[in-house]
Chain A
Amino acid sequence: NAGVTQTPKFQVLKTGQSMTLQCAQDMNHEYMSWYRQDPGMGLRLIHYSVGAGITDQGEVPNGYNVSRSTTEDFPLRLLSAAPSQTSVYFCASRAQRRVNTEAFFGQGTRLTVV
């Protein structure tokens, strides 16, 4: 079982470059989310989706774009990388059907912007 797969695991960008973090899940989950993890800040929600074609902003959306063209995939785009976006990024998915369903997380992408 693959679960939630994130690529790449590590990335170094120069300021101003763009890139896409990939996230795919094979559990047919309706809900998918992107979080960033920073020391002392816990996990903060960037964007989330409740199904294909539907996305919404989370707590810290600025500088990031998302789209959800299929149930399986939920890529996160950095339009013009900034040092403040240096962080560890996690993708997560959940099933919609019950309120107590757990979230499944990918292994994370460690991004450094220089």
Chain B
Amino acid sequence: GDSVTQMEGPVTLSEEAFLTINCTYTATGYPSLFWYVQYPGEGLQLLLKATKADDKGSNKGFEATYRKETTSFHLEKGSVQVSDSAVYFCALPNFGNEKLTFGTGTRLTIIP
């Protein structure tokens, strides 16, 4: 079945550091791929998405490129801020598109 493997956390970085959170997937076909973010005490919200191979999703300085050959969708940001502290989830829809499968989440803490 579909699955998402996400980089284990927690991750702690200093402000302005470079961030990478790894995500690889197993799926039928070539699904859309999503990164969701969960700020403390809140529900999940979409951070970015990519709908086909080689697409790059971007938002709020974050980027992720859909790599079909490596089945990966790694999240990157060039210079993180304290406000980026949150839990990040990689996700993909199943073949029938009725549901989403999530990775285990990566907790990111940015220290000033």
Residues of A within 8 A of B (CB): 4, 31, 33, 35, 40-43, 45, 48, 50, 56, 58, 90, 92, 94, 96, 99-100, 102-103, 105-108
Contacts and interface: CB of A to CB of B under 8 A. Distances in A.
B43 A99 contact: no
A105 to B, nearest CB: 4
B32 interface: yes
Nearest to B4: A42
Say whether chain A's binding surface is mostly helix, strand, loop, or mixed: strand
Interface residues of B, number: 23
A50 B36 CA distance: 22
Nearest to A41: B104
Contacts of A103: 36, 44, 46, 100
29 contacts: A4-B43, A31-B99, A33-B99, A33-B100, A35-B102, A42-B6, A42-B103, A42-B104, A42-B105, A43-B44, A43-B89, A43-B105, A50-B98, A56-B98, A58-B99, A92-B100, A99-B31, A99-B32, A99-B51, A99-B97, A100-B32, A102-B49, A103-B36, A103-B44, A105-B44, A105-B45, A106-B43, A107-B43, A108-B43
